[in-house]
Structure 1
Amino acid sequence: MEPYGGGDGRVRWVTPEWLMDNMDEVKIVDCQPNIHDYIFEHIPGAVYLNEGLFREPRGMAPAMYIPEGAVELIFHQAGIEDLPTVVYTGPGEVKGWDDGLEQTMLAYSLARFGHRNVLVLNGGLPEWKKAGGDVTKVFPEVEESDFSAETQKDFYIEYPEFKKIKDHDDVLVLDARPREVYEGQGPWIKPGHIPGAVNLPWASLMDDENKTLLKPEEEILELLEAAGASEDKTIIRSCGTGREATNEFILFKWYLGYPDVRIYEGSFTEWTQIEDNPTVTGPDPY
């Protein structure tokens, strides 16, 4: 099965079997939650790159994306080039810190800074091993690259514009957090959710046992229809810090090919730090 997906093809999905047949044609990036997980086992040839490298404090928001210059240094050291690059994560065998979002976070980060050929391993390391793929403790020798980062500003929306358009009739804000924190109190200074945001938990779109494996497309489409996520709307993805939203952003934009999708990267964390901003508790958007 060839790489699959929609949109402009910057991010696509591949099966373990496809990767086995194309190992010599791709760059492989392991983004398991901790370096010790990678040391314990990884796909042969995979270089380790932690998703946390790409965010830092800015203003009142504690986890915003670093500038292009800093990204380039990271990409150079990791040998990232604009060639087919497979990203995957695993269950965190050593530390147990995984939640399945590492690979969508890294896939988004690569695309956000100008990579045009990102391949997500559907099902991650568990599906790779289930299909009979080898794992190793041997590290590849990494050659420094000269990748030029270019921020894709049309992928995200910043606070002033978000606040201005979020309640327009042709805009749908989807909150990717679990239902219990959407409706009630999470770790944030305020409870609930941004007024108008509809809850679509990211994990509901993934396999019940493996949160790196997409559910069948017909099940995904049923969930999207129930949330009112039609292709004629601007779909703004939000969550806690913009991380959970990466799962749904790449799914909407590149798996299903929705024409107008963006991430509010500051998400609920930034929204709630602004004193005058209200929040809503309970199951209803408003």
Structure 2
Amino acid sequence: MNLKINLILIIFLMFSCKKESVEKSYSKKSNYLINANELLEIASNNKIKILDFRKKEDYQKEHIKNAIQIWRSDLENPNYVYSGMMPSSQQIERLFSDLGIESEDTVVIYDDKGLCEAARLWWILQVYNFKNVKLLQGGITAWKTINGDVSNIEPKFSKTSFKLSQTNKKNLFISKEEVYKALKTNTILLDTRTIAEFYGDYHKKGAAKPGRIPNSIHIDWAEAINFHGNQLIKPIEELEKIYSKLNIRKNDSIILYCHSGVRSAHTTFILTELLGYKNVKNYDGSWTEWSHFDNLPHEIGSSTTLKKNNHE
């Protein structure tokens, strides 16, 4: 009996040490990741604002205590005929002011999609030079695992006068016009959608047609997380192996896109924050925007059934 107990204890300790080692490897790479135990230590600080980036119905069932609900529709610029474009700095300031977020607060974001939604907001805030951002590994599941407080009560915070820095950083951002110019260079385009979207067998609502930007390389964003498991980001060593298969050097110029810049924002985080790629830009409009312009070139099909529309 004692031998059995000892074996169970050894296995538990080995798993715990491995998990701790993985979490430490993340923290050494990026200041933007936080685990549940770290959040537990600071959650009661009034300068911490936790954002629950899930749909309202999921939030209302339960959420991390005092978390504020936010969704994609809160972060869209309405001045386009297509949806999903990032909000203006003025929109962010109004939204955060209404939510009760102060300019000096640290924002902790979680979702239930392996940080896909959270990484989109991280990217937007990076573009607007707001650095006080943390992404919660494992979301509410990890939080509940350590017995963190959950609630179904929506907190109320007094309105503030949230202001972004006057200096916007465009180092992670690229526009449609810039993507078009880059097609004539050695810039690498990574399509982070599903393989069905990449081939044009399927396109999500909002896109005008199926297809992809010419000469794109495919890498599904979900390769970076344990998609069918706990949805945690994979260890750094695994990530290195996954992206090394693309034969891209860390100093290459890289443009990422997906359907509307959400999944590609996640890959932007992985490449820049965890793997050290130096010249990465996320195309905000992504395929949704590109597909609306018939004068822009596109491809559809696999390499054996390739069809092109090369309007110059």
Give the TM-score normalised by structure 2.
0.79
Are 1:87 and 2:102 matched, yes or no?
Answer: no
Which stretches in structure 2 are left out of the alignment for 5+ residues? 1-22
Residue in 2 that maps onto 1:173: 189
Give the direction of change, closer, same or farther, for the CA distance of 1:6–1:261 in structure 2 (3 Å limit).
Answer: farther
Choose from 119, 133, 138 the match for 1:118: 133
Question: Do the aligned partners of 1:176 and 1:199 also contact (CA within 8 Å) in 2?
Answer: yes
Are 1:195 and 2:218 matched, yes or no?
Answer: no
Which stretches in structure 1 are left out of the alignment for 5+ residues? 91-97
SS of residue matched to 2:240: helix
Q: Any runs of at least 4 consecutive aligned residues in structure 1 with deviations exceeding 4 A, and if so which?
A: 283-286
Are 1:40 and 2:38 matched, yes or no?
Answer: no
Choose from 244, 249, 254 the match for 1:230: 249
RMSD: 2.5
SS of residue matched to 1:107: helix
Whole-Å Cα distance in 2 between the matches of residues 124 and 157 of structure 1?
Answer: 29
Question: Do the aligned partners of 1:44 and 1:135 also contact (CA within 8 Å) in 2?
Answer: yes
Give the TM-score normalised by structure 1.
0.86
Deviation for aligned residue 1:207: 0.7
Deviation for aligned residue 1:72: 0.8
Are 1:14 and 2:31 matched, yes or no?
Answer: no
Q: What do the CA deviations read for 1:225-283 (whole angstroms, capped 9, x no partner)? A: 11233211112111111111111112222233322211111111221211122322344
Give the direction of change, closer, same or farther, for the CA distance of 1:51–1:212 in structure 2 (3 Å limit).
Answer: farther
Deviation for aligned residue 1:40: 1.4
Are 1:241 and 2:257 matched, yes or no?
Answer: no
* TM alignment of 1:208-227, pairs within 5 A: 208-210=227-229, 212-227=231-246
Whole-Å Cα distance in 2 between the matches of residues 64 and 129 of structure 1?
Answer: 33
Whole-Å Cα distance in 2 between the matches of residues 5 and 256 of structure 1?
Answer: 11
Larger radius of gyration: 2
> What code does the residue aligned with 1:181 have?
E
> What code does the residue aligned with 1:176 have?
T
> What code does the residue aligned with 1:115 have?
F
Aligned residues: percent identity?
Answer: 24
Residue in 1 that maps onto 2:17: none
SS of residue matched to 2:291: helix
> What code does the residue aligned with 1:23 have?
A
Choose from 149, 152, 175 the match for 1:137: 152
Question: Do the aligned partners of 1:89 and 1:103 also contact (CA within 8 Å) in 2?
Answer: yes
User: What is the aligned residue count?
Assistant: 275
Deviates more, 1:235-244 or 1:255-264: 255-264
